[in-house]
Amino acid sequence: MQGPDALEVVVAQLEGFEAPAGAWETEILPARLAEYEPSWLDEQCLAGRIAWVRLRPRGGRPNGGERSVTPVRTTPITLLARRHAPLWTALFPVADAVRLGPRAQALADYIRANGASFFDELVAGSGLLRSQVEEALGELVAQGLVTSDSFGGLRALLVPSDRRRPGPGGRRRRRSLLFGMEDAGRWALAQRARPAPSGPEARPEAVEHVARRLLLRYGVVFWRLLEREADWLPPWRDLLRVYRRLEARGEIRGGRFVAGFPGEQFALPEAVGMLREVRRKPASDAWVSLSGADPLNLVGILTPGPKLPALTGNRVLYRHGLPVALLAGGEVHVLETLDAASQWEARKALLRGAAPAALVDLA
């Protein structure tokens, strides 16, 4: 797809998918949007159409030390339509008290007392240094406790501090218009709905929303496919009730659409037509290289062989719709017998990332 207006359509298809924070703008979105620009996502977030959040709270610090591990780059982040946020957060119980480092706790207390705040307000109000506020925000993001108006705040946390745009009066080490904490807008505590005691089953509208998003994402849904999704999704038995009801209404189709997998399968009507069209087309020789963090990393799930870990640095190369090579742990593994010329082309395509030039620091 092309253009900034297409971003909202792509996010609607990927809504609820959990991917490392560093993969969204370097791999997943650029693979679907030609000439992707970071400003597109910032504008949609600032307009209140799209939000980013860690849906599943981390739940506690791994040790009792004062410095907690905050791997923001690998933190599982979800993009979603802001108006749908209550439906997704309804799938989780209210998080228990999370043990935070003293600086992160001080910052969380300040936001709780003063409401959504800009970065300079956090620095002035908390009494912490800029670098300490950035570190504390990283911990709060990793714990799923805060989010910001724009994606720019998360983007700034993903790069080393010496590559961020300095604040007023600071010395600029790199020319960058992307990595400033001042671009985040306001930082606020992540709002979480309080589900009923009986859990997700008491939120049928949330389960139905998830079921419809999965259909929009894949076109065809069955239980094996959900291995690629987050383990906090409603169980298949709950989704199955929704799909049977939608089939009875005539909104979706039930049947056997993908051979080799047991259990019931459901598809959008337009997906059935697309499957038939793909069968009639001749095989394409195009190479399609995707990150291991991409939702289309279905190696070992829908295709034979071992699974490819869902890490940003891993890659899978498809041809004719089948995986022909993998990049895992920095090593290339060829899955099919290829001549020398094809092996060279495969290796070149496999190592080619999707990150725009402006975001090379995040790759």
Residue 98 counted as domain residue: yes
Burial of 127 (0-12, 13-18, 19+ CB in 10 A): exposed
Residue 195 counted as domain residue: no
State whether 26 and 165 are in the same domain: yes
CA distance 309 to 293: 8
Can you list the alpha helix ranges (DSSP code H) found in 116-235? Answer: 119-126, 130-142, 152-157, 204-218
State whether 32 and 148 are in the same domain: yes
CATH number at residue 248: 1.10.10
β-pair partners for 253 = 267
The residue count for the chain: 363
Give me the pLDDT at residue 95, please: 54
Give me the pLDDT at residue 49, please: 95
Residue 344 counted as domain residue: yes
Q: What does each of the 363 residues of the chain score in pLDDT, given as a tens digit?
A: 999 999 999 999 999 999 999 999 999 999 999 999 999 999 999 999 999 999 887 654 444 444 454 668 899 999 999 999 989 988 876 555 678 899 999 999 999 999 999 999 999 999 999 999 999 999 999 988 999 999 999 998 988 766 655 555 454 444 344 567 887 899 999 876 554 444 445 589 999 999 999 999 999 999 999 999 998 899 999 999 999 999 999 999 999 999 899 999 999 999 999 999 988 988 878 889 999 999 999 999 998 888 999 999 999 999 888 899 999 988 989 888 888 888 888 888 888 766 666 666 566
Domain boundary among 241, 256, 280: 280
Give me the pLDDT at residue 296, please: 95
**Cα Dmax for the chain:** 66
Among candidate residues 28, 9, 35, 5, the one with its CA nearest the CA of residue 310: 28
Residue 194 counted as domain residue: no
CA distance 62 to 108: 19
CA distance 151 to 38: 9
Domain boundary among 229, 263, 280: 280
Are the C-beta atoms of residues 346 and 287 closer than 8 Å to each other? yes
For the chain, what is the domain count? 3
Which are the contacts of 23, defined by CB distance < 8 A and separation ≥ 6? 291, 293, 294, 312
CA distance 114 to 103: 16
State whether 96 and 142 are in the same domain: yes
Give me the pLDDT at residue 11, please: 97
CA distance 81 to 83: 5
State whether 215 and 167 are in the same domain: no
State whether 62 and 102 are in the same domain: yes
Domain that holds residue 222: 202-280
Give me the pLDDT at residue 330, please: 87
State whether 338 and 306 are in the same domain: yes
Which are the contacts of 230, defined by CB distance < 8 A and separation ≥ 6? 16, 17, 18, 55, 56, 76
Residue 63 counted as domain residue: yes
State whether 84 and 112 are in the same domain: yes
Give me the pLDDT at residue 93, please: 60
**Tokens found for residue 203:** 């939120």
State whether 172 and 233 are in the same domain: no
State whether 207 and 162 are in the same domain: no
**Tokens found for residue 361:** 């620091």
Are the C-beta atoms of residues 293 and 310 closer than 8 Å to each other? yes
State whether 276 and 292 are in the same domain: no
Domain boundary among 158, 189, 220: 189
pTM: 0.87
Residue 173 counted as domain residue: yes
State whether 323 and 340 are in the same domain: yes
State whether 165 and 29 are in the same domain: yes
Are the C-beta atoms of residues 79 and 29 closer than 8 Å to each other? no
